[in-house]
Amino acid sequence: MRSPLLFSAAICISKILAYSPSSYYFDPLKHLAGVAPPFDPIDPPLDPSPPQGCNVTRAAYLVRHAAIVANDFDYESYIEPFVEKLENTTVDWAKVPVLSFLATWQNPITDEEQEMLTRSGKLEATKLGVDIAQRYQGLRTPKKIWTSTAERTVKSAKSFTQGLADDTDDMSVVEISEGEEEGADSLTPYKGCPAYSSKAGSNESSEFLDVYTKPVIGHFNSAAPAFNFTAKDVYAMSLLCGYETVIRGSSPFCNLEVLSPNEWLGFEYTNDIQYHYNTGYGNPTSGAIGFPWVNATLNSLMATQNNMSNATADQDLYISFTHRELPPTVLVALGLFNNSAFSGSNNVNYTMPVNAINHGRVWKSSNILQFLTNVAIEKMECESFGYDDGSYYRVLVNDSPQSLDGCSSGPGESCGEERMREWVAQRGGIVGEFGGVCGVEYGNSTNVLGIYES
């Protein structure tokens, strides 16, 4: 018989082995929220290849622009003040362990280049074009793709065409105005939504910013008291890990001796709170802002060539480029990454406490709005075991198929066409109509996205 003492010793050893540092791996680049370089989060881990018996016959993509040098707001609010403080400081960084790199570090961001695509961003956008061309070999190359007018979105779209098209002259990049007077008829509908504020979420996220940065500030200020590190400085250092990586290929700020894995999770959660209240479930306008893209896109994928209005682009692929705000609102319109789903209640804000991390949340900005993040809808023709023959639809986010709540009884958790029509109409009812929810004030606003006809 095994002695109790040996038995508990064995448990002890197995615990030590299970939690040994060698099995722990942490990559900060996958926790950088809006400044994360593109990656496939595999969330959930459903198989991305078409389900057994199904062929993709059409697809649509909504893509955030690729990596930029720096966002204006991030630069002016956090990075620039930190960099100026560094220029003024009397601290001799060479003598400060862990932060000694600051003695020679140079700011990679110049004023003129801010908001521009980085070289790696252009390359990633081209690669996405190649990936899509390879994934949909049987589909026709589109004649048009659409983009909002900002330079970073237009350049992302153009870099993308280099990967997608044989000859980019055969494809036109249609620019859609970012004006607020377009209402829902643009790739930036939040700009035409008076009830949406770009500042939403900043108060809530700054509460958690203070929580997670407190020990970091204590640590850094004990090493370099004269610098007087603040919460904003720590946040700036995290942003620099992302921006410097997409500009230079790597950054000393990403070193896990500077900020630990737990501290990176704090940075990520601060952003998740921000986007929850800004473009997520914590903002009552989100779903209404994202719904017109869902509705128009499904209408185009469902239309047959006979009943497609002659103005609507007759294409197999409908691809559009936009800014970071739109993809998360589309996910809300689709009911995806809803922390409250399957909880039996709908207390959205309770799922994102501002004083502690909810590690069990599904709303993770790094997985949802990284650079070049994309939301896809695929139309499939299926003759699959155990299912009726016909058209089915599925949504993929950064290559991971998603299961739509109430619309997933087809092959590979896809949704049959008839059910899809009812389900989308139901979603429209849940999230509300753009004009009403947004409190649109001008007369000629519209609730419908018509870009596929331009």
Ligand X SMILES: *[C@@H]1O[C@H](CO)[C@@H](O)[C@H](O)[C@H]1NC(C)=O
User: Of 184 and 369, which has the nearer Cβ to ligand X?
Assistant: 184
Beta strand 172-176 with 390-397 is unpaired
User: Of 400 and 446, which has the nearer Cβ to ligand X?
Assistant: 446
Distance of closest approach, residue 83 Cβ to ligand X, in angstroms: 8
Distances (CA, A) of 312 to 84, 154, 193, 297, 452: 52, 21, 26, 11, 6
| Assigned token pair, 166 | 């044989």
Sign of CA pseudo-dihedral 111, 179, 189, 204: positive
CA-nearest of 361, 395, 392, 159 to 290 is 395
Distance of closest approach, residue 173 Cβ to ligand X, in angstroms: 20
User: Of 312 and 398, which has the nearer Cβ to ligand X?
Assistant: 312
Please state whether the peptide bond connecting residue 44 to the residue before it is cis, i.e. omega within 30 degrees of 0: yes
User: Of 66 and 288, which has the nearer Cβ to ligand X?
Assistant: 288
Distance of closest approach, residue 229 Cβ to ligand X, in angstroms: 8
Distance of closest approach, residue 288 Cβ to ligand X, in angstroms: 9
Query: Using CB under 6 A as the criterion, which residues of the chain lie in contact with ligand X when the complex forms?
Result: 55, 81, 84-85, 88, 181-183, 185, 197, 199-200, 202-203, 228, 230, 277, 281-282, 284, 287, 295, 299, 303-304, 307, 309-310, 332, 335, 338, 340-341, 343, 346, 348-349, 381-383, 428, 430-431, 444-448
Q: Are 176 and 148 in contact (CB under 8 A)?
A: yes
User: Of 264 and 281, which has the nearer Cβ to ligand X?
Assistant: 281
User: What DSSP line would sit under 15-52, residue for residue?
Assistant: HHHHT-GGG----GGGG-GGGPPP----SS----SPPT
Residues 437, 439, 444, 448, Cα dihedral to 10°: -10
CA-nearest of 257, 295, 332 to 420 is 295
Distance of closest approach, residue 48 Cβ to ligand X, in angstroms: 17
Residue 247 and residue 425: Cα distance in Å, rounded?
A: 43
Distance of closest approach, residue 240 Cβ to ligand X, in angstroms: 16
Distance of closest approach, residue 419 Cβ to ligand X, in angstroms: 13
CA-nearest of 141, 188, 203 to 168 is 141
User: Of 27 and 418, which has the nearer Cβ to ligand X?
Assistant: 418
Distance of closest approach, residue 352 Cβ to ligand X, in angstroms: 9
Distances (CA, A) of 98 to 30, 103, 167: 22, 11, 50
User: Of 85 and 144, which has the nearer Cβ to ligand X?
Assistant: 85
Residue 57 and residue 301: Cα distance in Å, rounded?
A: 9
User: Of 170 and 383, which has the nearer Cβ to ligand X?
Assistant: 383
Beta strand 54-64 with 144-148 is unpaired
